[in-house]
């Protein structure tokens, strides 16, 4: 499962329930995400309080998922996506610092993309 998190809008129709069981939003600490389940990997487009260019890091991650070979683990894929983001030297993404968090004990390797088609 890949989940995208954005700052919620605070309108009258908003719910205070958590968006998913793998994360926890602390209303006292803005929109900070705390991993509360084991065996979870969280890829964030930027650090807490940072700004992210829509689609820049998620696109770089999608490229990595698309070329998954069944050998490279997700942390290496994350590193490749970050390098790809930096390689473009887009002024808009200079301050975007992606973050990787995990509560796993084992290496997470995605199956080859060709097996998913």
* Whether the Cβ atoms of residue 7 and residue 67 lie closer than 8 Å to each other: no
Reply yes or no on domain 31-116 having CATH 3.40.50.720: no
Q: Tell me the whole-structure pTM to 2 decimals.
A: 0.70
Q: Domain boundaries in the chain?
A: 31-116
Which of these ranges, 2-16, 35-49, 62-76, has the smallest mean pLDDT? Answer: 2-16
- pLDDT tens for each residue of 65-112: 999 999 999 999 999 999 998 886 677 788 899 999 999 889 999 899
What is the Cα–Cα distance from 32 to 110, expressed in whole angstroms? 27
């Amino acid at each position: 499962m890949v989940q995208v998190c954005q700052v919620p809008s605070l309108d009258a129709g908003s719910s205070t329930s958590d968006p998913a069981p793998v994360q926890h939003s602390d209303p006292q600490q803005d929109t900070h995400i705390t991993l509360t389940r084991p065996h979870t990997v969280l890829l964030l487009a930027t650090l807490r309080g940072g700004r992210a260019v829509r689609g820049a890091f998620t696109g770089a991650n999608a490229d990595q998922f698309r070329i998954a070979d069944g050998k490279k683990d997700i942390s290496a894929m994350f590193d490749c996506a970050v390098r790809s983001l930096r390689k473009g030297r887009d002024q808009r993404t200079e301050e975007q610092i992606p973050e990787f968090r995990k509560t796993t004990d084992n290496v997470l390797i995605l199956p080859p993309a060709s097996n998913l088609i």
